Each structure stands twice: as structure tokens, then as C-alpha cells.
Amino acid sequence: SQQGEEDPQALSIQEGENATMNCSYKTSINNLQWYRQNSGRGLVHLILIRSNEREKHSGRLRVTLDTSKKSSSLLITASRAADTASYFCATEETSGSRLTFGEGTQLTVNP
Amino acid sequence: SQTIHQWPATLVQPVGSPLSLECTVEGTSNPNLYWYRQAAGRGLQLLFYSVGIGQISSEVPQNLSASRPQDRQFILSSKKLLLSDSGFYLCAWSVVVDEKLFFGSGTQLSVL
């Protein structure tokens, strides 16, 4: 069953702009993870944020988590054409269910 | 360093034929192993996961089975493929269950 839902489904921006993607979920979680997938390839892990954390950074990536609103956001600053990919959030529920992936946001960065 | 190998990259099979997809991990011991399927433009659906040799958990009833004959080998099989088995199959591993998964490059399976 789907837990995380990304918003928007698709996002198109110009190089140099910031890209923000959101993920909402329904139940209590232990952690939330963001992955990136280039077309026709496997997923690459970007960031894991635990339920007791509010914000994490990795290079140009910034992830926030609001457990009261059951939502997370992924911000990519100063985007590049190479950031073009699909971005997925995945949640590990406290219920013990296995990691559940959302449907993804397709990001296109135009040069 | 750890690496994951998944093959083949593309596979076209007739309905009713058998299937065997193999995934191996190098550079780590006792990894947690996963098989996912992804429909075009969609998220990932967990099919099977394994926390050790011979230990397989199935998440959804389906026409597929999985085996883990060796510590770092995970095999996805079917005796008779259905049209609905078409999709992009991804193998993954992790040190901690459900944390920071490392994915293979995927197999695009078309059942005709």
C-alpha cells in the first residue's frame, strides 16, 4: 500500500533555480528517506531523516520533516541540468511494515 | 567498496515461459536483500526481502518466487510468466533493514 505521496508529480525549472518537492504520509514513521532515479536506472539514496530530526543537509540538498503535519520536503538549491531525474520519498512505518515508496516527482532542469 | 550486480538489463520473454533474474552483492557480508518491481512512471512495489540465507519474506501474492542460495545471491524466479509480470525489476541491499538501500541497475522485463 502507498504511504508517501509526492507533490508535485512533475516540476520543470531553469538551471540555477531552486527545486522543492514535498512528500506527505499517513501513519507514524521511524524515518523518511529520499531517493533519486535517472531514467531507466536504479535508485540512489540521497538522505535519511529520522522522526526525531527536523532538518538535514547534504551538499545542495536540504530535507525537512514535520511529523505533526506528516510531511517532508526536499530542496535542491542552484539546480543543474544533471539534477534532472525522478525523486522518491520512502517511509519506514513504526508499525513494522516494510519501506514504502511514493509515486515520485519528475524533475526537469532546463539548461 | 560494495557493489551490486543485476542482470540481464533487458529481457523479452513469451507468456508461459520461465524466468530467472539474478542479483549478487560484493564487498559486504550478510546483507539484507530486496526485490522490487516498478511499473512505468510509478513507485516501487516490494516483492520479496531476505535477512539471511534461506530466509525469504513475500510481500504480495503473485506468480513469482525468490531464493537466496548464498549469502550475497538473490534470485527471482517464475515457472510461467504472465503478461502482468512485465515491468522494471530492481534488486537492492542494505546493512540495516529498510535503511539506505543500494539498488542495482534494474532489469526491464517485457512479457509478450
What percentage of chain B reaches a pLDDT higher than 70?
A: 99
Model confidence at A3: pLDDT above 80: no
The reply to whether omega before B8 is within 30° of 0 (cis) is yes
Model confidence at A6: pLDDT above 80: yes
Model confidence at A53: pLDDT above 60: yes
Question: What's the pLDDT tens digit per position in A26-42?
Answer: 999 999 999 999 999 99
Q: What is the pLDDT of residue A16?
A: 98
Which residue, among B57, B90, B101, B102, would best test binding to A if mutated, counting the most A CBs under 10 Å from its CB? B101
Quick one: closest CA in B to A36, which residue?
B103
Instruction: For chain A, say whether B101 makes contact (Cβ under 8 Å).
Output: yes
Q: Do A45 and B101 touch (CB under 8 A)?
A: yes
What is the band of A1 on the pLDDT scale with cuts at 50, 70, 90? Answer: very low
Instruction: For chain B, say whether A59 makes contact (Cβ under 8 Å).
Output: no
Q: Name the average pLDDT for chain B.
A: 94
Exposed / middle / buried, residue A20 (Cβ in 10 Å: 0-12, 13-18, 19+): middle
How far does the CA of residue A96 sit from the closest CA of chain B (Å)? Answer: 10
How far does the CA of residue A61 sit from the closest CA of chain B (Å)? Answer: 16
* Among candidates B99, B100, B106 on the partner chain, residue whose Cβ is nearest the Cβ of A42: B106
Question: What's the pLDDT tens digit per position in B76-90?
Answer: 999 999 999 999 999
